[in-house]
Structure 1
């Protein structure tokens, strides 16, 4: 997988690591602002959002480390290189998101159960939340292109998205408190932040487990690939088809392809192999494909064994 954002230009066209580093800088600054704002205003929602921002910063650090490790070249021990490091980075991000969501829910329910309106300075709370919203929107814009091709960057992108929605919830709560004086809106906003985070964390973990289980990538139609292979002149049959992915955007394909004896006799086997690899790359965006060409008799022997 390449370490750049496909289809994006300008600032968003930089390497994944550069984009993650810029996002980390933005997140770290806003985290400090939110912590100070939460202490001064007494807002649980703002504190929850700042805790999520801290988690975002940690997640971005993990993503940066994973991205650097994934860029290391393959060797004799790790023949596919280190691209799976991005998947483990995304796994850590997902677990952090789940843990943070549980903490927010417990704190919010405790405050709601007290039946007392929290004393929240809604004005400063609103200002800090708007700053967080703008910062998260900027970070999301920076990562939007790269996250389509990197599961690792997508993990960071999802966390920033959750933080943006969390900032929006804090803004709504602050406005409600300013207009109506209903202080419990702060705790309700905290629950809304958790409700926004949990499904995204589950979705990220589901994708991670799909990669680790070596399932076919989402949207990859194995039967259609098989049909394309069978339509290649000289191909008789195809079996032992396997499709998996090292990480998002890095699918891998292998298959045993039965060709006519005439192809081997005439030296056409090399041409068939090139056409098959070109077909996978052009029609299915699979850059890494491996084919074992076999005569018909070899297939019968494999089946017997």
Structure 2
């Protein structure tokens, strides 16, 4: 990821300079998105290092794994901010006669596309297991498509002299980025809100636990994600059978749903006894 930071950071400076010189909103928009890539990569790298090497303590019992999630939220906010700025600037330029050198757009876009492809290949392996890296990968992917758009704008400008192609591409880049940034933010907020992961049906888990022959009741089942790929569960099961037998069966059920990090409490439920205390939350 460090190599990716250097590549994207270096090209951000180049693209911003040429965007200002050429008065190209598309290049400036793409450079702004490059900046979010740099920030995303740096924060993602820091988050991964903290998650992998930050030691859990009594005060911070889960270590720094949640750092990745906060990074994803920050990335999404930054992306939306850049998109709003580009849309505002595009509206402001309506009615003007933009003069943008097409050749400059083409050359810069080709270089940017090559760099984005290299960085995407570097990030692809880690993007499935980390929401922070996934956010960075998404931004680089969007930037690669942005480079394609800038390339098209350059070709159209050179072929027809229609300067508005630059503004149209800038708006398309912004509109393409916003929904993906919102989706990333919602995924991260879902984790921060400790909602059940979308890929786990809690009702199915509860029913399978209740179907264990020795289990009489299932209550206080909680399922959430610490970060991407780290799902956690806690549950109480009531039974009058041997605790070890019930515990082993419950572990198998949770394992089938990818819930290996689970705390299971078996409440004894002898005849005539109260199985468990009712909680108000």
- Give me the TM-score of the superposition, normalised by structure 1: 0.85
2:227 partner SS: coil
- Larger deviation, residues 192-201 vs 24-33: 24-33
The corresponding residue for 1:210 is 190
- SS of alignment partner, residue 217 of structure 1: coil
What are the equivalent positions in structure 2 for 1:134-145 lying under 5 Å apart? 134-145=114-125
Aligned partners of 1:235 and 1:258 also within 8 Å = yes
The answer to whether the aligner puts 1:107 opposite 2:89 as a matched pair is: yes
- Quote how far apart the aligned CAs of 1:135 are: 1.6
Deviations 1:20-56 (A, max 9, x none): 2232122123223312432443321012111211221
Name 2:34's counterpart in structure 1: 53
How many pairs are equivalent? 277
SS in 2 for 1:28: helix
Q: Which one of the candidate residues 251, 254, 268 is aligned to 1:295?
A: 268
Q: TM-score, normalised by structure 2?
A: 0.92
Match of 1:245 in 2: 225
Is 1:31–1:53's contact at 8 Å kept on the other side of the alignment? yes
Distance 1:107 1:235, change over 3 A: same
User: Of residues 167, 174, 177 in structure 2, which corresponds to 1:194?
Assistant: 174
- 1:277 and 2:259 matched: no
Once the 2 structures are TM-superposed, how far is the Cα of residue 245 of structure 1 from its aligned partner?
Answer: 0.6
Where 2:27 maps in the other structure, the secondary structure is helix
CA contact 2:117–2:144 (8 Å) conserved in 1: yes
Structure 1: state its 5+ residue gaps: 1-19, 264-268
Partner of residue 22, structure 2: 41
Is the Cα contact below 8 Å between 2:19 and 2:28 reproduced in 1? yes
Distance 2:274 2:65 in 1: 34
Q: What's the counterpart of residue 183 of structure 1? A: 163
Matched residue, 1:92: 74
What is the root-mean-square deviation in Å for CA atoms of aligned residues?
1.9
Q: Within 2, Cα distance between the matches of 1:185 and 1:44?
A: 10
Cα distance per residue 1:108-146 (max 9 Å; x no partner):
1111232x1x22111121121122112212222222232
Q: Secondary structure at the match of 2:219?
A: strand
> Of residues 30, 55, 60 in structure 2, which corresponds to 1:78?
60
Greater CA drift, 249-258 or 229-238: 229-238
| Compared CA separation, residues 125 and 153, structure 1 to 2 (3 A) | same
